[in-house]
A and B are shown apart, each in its own frame.
Chain A
Amino acid sequence: MTTISTVEPMLGSEHMLINIGPQHPATHGVLRLVCELDGETVLRVMPDIGYLHSSFEKLGEYRTWNQIVPLTDRMDYLAPLIYNCVYVMAVEKLMGLEVTERCKVVRVICMELDRIFSHLLWLGTTAIDVGAFTPFLYAFQERERIYTLHESFTGQRITTSATRIGGMMADLPDGWTESLLDFLNTFPDTLDEIDSLLTTNGIHLGRTLDVGVISAEEAINHGFTGPNLRASGTAYDLRKDQPYYDYETYDFEVPVGENGDCYDRYLVRMEEMRQSVLILQQALDRLPDGPINVEDPRVSLPSKTDCMSDMESMIHHFKLITEGIAVPEGDCYFAVEGSKGELGMYVVSDGGEKPVRWRIRPPSFVNLSVISKLAEGHLVSDLIMINASLDIVLGEIDR
């Protein structure tokens, strides 16, 4: 490690403590980094989190199972649909509820679309951290189109709350699949343009190559998952390792890096977006007709006509509305490949209308805890790049 005292012994300096954030654009949220420096070399980074703590997990214990859905998208506002989906998937698994074929494909579409959505934000903001402004504009223009898709499907751009236990809040609106297809046809061109601006760009290479290196073994030991782990060379992807929703029948590759540096993390995410486009195209091809919501008396409301003419249906309707869904006793851990890593939901029920415990296995939280190890011995400016390359979202770290 090059320290100022070895290069310039006459300047033998005191270590300096500097504070980055919590209100700083380069920390990608209300993250505070306390850094111990020797000259400009980082010796230690102490992330200080909790500025955005909203006690979602505690709040969830006071809500019925379906009322938790709106809490989930507020955690990762960069990929809200993935969070909506994984929560209800965990509860459905605990209930032993099998959703309809159409619902499965729609959820796959939602999750892959938001993987692109999240990676695009990461791409734009990371590029701007190393001084490239144009990719930011290109990426956000494409994100805007996904926002429009969100809005026409769910009515909201960010806080989508699109899922319900047993299905979705609504079926896809007319013309939505055509709009998505339109996006899929033109988006790869933009991605290629960004690619040509960054992948072989000397400045970008200089800022990312061999910066923040972590080996596969260490990455696993530190709990790395998602693109960060795959950049280190371990092909751990829950879509392949623990397939859900027929992911094993989709034709796609899991990109893997070699060196585990910032540049490999960049390459892996770029390729993941292309693979997500492929999955989306296949999902659109196979999107079956049929009901989107499951017909199960435990979760689905009887029709309005039945309620008006049939006493039992009315009682059923009344009880589902006033008491909520009853989930059988037990616990369930269910994880999907989120945009940032293994996104798990751990739900515990005692058979009541409210969860005993609702826990999110937060990928960004675990990934961020490694930052000190990654940044040791690098310059402060590299710390900014390393932090960006981890792709964190503070809403989910602090929960």
Chain B
Amino acid sequence: MVDDNGSVFDAVEEGPKASDAPGESPRGTAGQALEHPSVTALSERFAEAVRRHEVQCGDQHVVFVEPARNVEVLSWLKADPDQAYDLLVDVTAVDYGEGRPIQVVYQLWSVTHRRALRIKCELALDALTVESVAPLWNSANWLEREVYDLFGVAFTGHPDLRRILMPQNYAEGHPLRKDFPLRGRFSRAEQTKRALSQDYHDYYTPEMLEMGGAPALLPPDPESSASDVEDAS
């Protein structure tokens, strides 16, 4: 009797098993799920750049790529006519905490072939740098800024790597990292003080934006252009 009860409690303790679910198991392993043409092509062409491949939720293929070669792989995926991943749906990052590497996640979709693919790059915490894909997809511009802002991943070659959601004078770090406390690092008083001391002129001044950067559009000074006009007439 005690044994019976014990086994029942064990079952509850362990929680319900995945096998309780109706239908197929939510997770598969590589090889068992449907073949994904891009994954096969990737592992043939970039054998040494592809670290591993896994299948999530039965049909979502994830390829882990060497961070140093991310642009090489992604630009091939975009340009090759058999892949044609022309829509970069999302760029984000995942921090598992406990010093584990931060994953940068690229979610791709091919409008032509109606296929999805997820590419991940694992970055060690002391080397949070990866090349930007903004030159390939313009949609990466803001998405990479967001990852930089919230995770502190630096994207080399990004045209405008600034904070995007947090204030420009934010000095508490990168909020979505696991070591970042929910309430922030500074006291409420300090946070309020910093928020109130912000001046929007600090970030968008004509000088900083190099306004009139297109000299062809703008005569150097009004008097000289006026004399040009007189000369012409």
Q: Which residues of A contact B (CB under 8 A)?
A: 3, 5, 9-10, 12-15, 17, 19, 32, 34, 36, 38, 43-44, 46, 48-50, 53, 55, 57-59, 62, 93-98, 218, 220-223, 225, 234, 236, 241-242, 296-298, 312, 315-316, 319, 326, 328-333, 335, 342, 344, 346, 348, 350, 356-357, 359, 361, 365-366, 369-370, 398-399
**Given contacts A297-B20, A330-B27, A344-B89, A5 and B218 within 8 Å (CB-CB):** yes
**A346–B166 contact, CB under 8 A?**
no
Q: Which of A5, A38, A236, A369 contacts B141 (CB 8 A)?
A: A369
Contacts of A62 in B (CB 8 A): 182
Q: Which of B23, B56, B175 contacts A331 (CB 8 A)?
A: B56
Q: With A and B bound together, what is the CA distance between A46 and B9 in angstroms?
A: 60
**B107–A95 contact, CB under 8 A?**
no
Contacts of A335 in B (CB 8 A): 89
Q: With A and B bound together, what is the CA distance between A383 and B162 in angstroms?
A: 24
**Given contacts A96-B26, A96-B57, A331-B94, A50 and B229 within 8 Å (CB-CB):** no
Q: With A and B bound together, what is the CA distance between A218 and B176 in angstroms?
A: 31
Q: Which residues of B contact A (CB under 8 A)?
A: 8-9, 12, 15-16, 18, 20-27, 56-58, 60, 62, 86-90, 92, 94-97, 105, 107, 111, 114, 116, 118, 137-139, 141-143, 146, 150, 163-167, 175-176, 180, 182, 200, 203-206, 209, 211-212, 214, 217-219, 222, 225-226, 228-229
**B175–A350 contact, CB under 8 A?**
no
Contacts of B139 in A (CB 8 A): 221-223, 366, 369
Q: Top 7 closest A-B pairs, CB basis? A: A223-B139, A96-B26, A369-B142, A12-B219, A298-B16, A50-B165, A361-B90
**Given contacts A38-B217, A95-B21, A17 and B138 within 8 Å (CB-CB):** no
Contacts of B25 in A (CB 8 A): 96
Instruction: Give the residue name and chain of the B residue nearest to A342 (CB).
Output: B89
Contacts of A50 in B (CB 8 A): 163-167
**B57–A98 contact, CB under 8 A?**
no
Q: List 14 A-B contacts (CB under 8 A).
A: A10-B229, A12-B226, A48-B204, A55-B175, A93-B57, A94-B56, A96-B25, A96-B26, A96-B27, A221-B139, A298-B20, A326-B15, A328-B27, A398-B165
Q: With A and B bound together, what is the CA distance between A71 and B65 in angstroms?
A: 33
Q: With A and B bound together, what is the CA distance between A97 and B23 in angstroms?
A: 8
**B87–A223 contact, CB under 8 A?**
yes
Instruction: Give the residue name and chain of the A residue nearest to B141 (CB).
Output: A369
**Given contacts A17-B211, A221-B137, A10 and B226 within 8 Å (CB-CB):** yes
Q: With A and B bound together, what is the CA distance between A316 and B9 in angstroms?
A: 10
Instruction: Give the residue name and chain of the B residue nearest to A11 (CB).
Output: B222
Q: How far is the CB of B29 from chain A (nearest CB, A)?
A: 11
**A346–B165 contact, CB under 8 A?**
no
Instruction: Give the residue name and chain of the B residue nearest to A22 (CB).
Output: B200
Q: Which of A17, A53, A57, A332 contacts B57 (CB 8 A)?
A: A332
Q: With A and B bound together, what is the CA distance between A98 and B203 in angstroms?
A: 50
Contacts of A332 in B (CB 8 A): 56-57, 60
**A96–B206 contact, CB under 8 A?**
no
**B206–A17 contact, CB under 8 A?**
yes
Contacts of A326 in B (CB 8 A): 15-16
Tell which of B12, B89, B96 has the most Cβ of chain A within 10 Å: B89
Q: With A and B bound together, what is the CA distance between A337 and B158 in angstroms?
A: 30
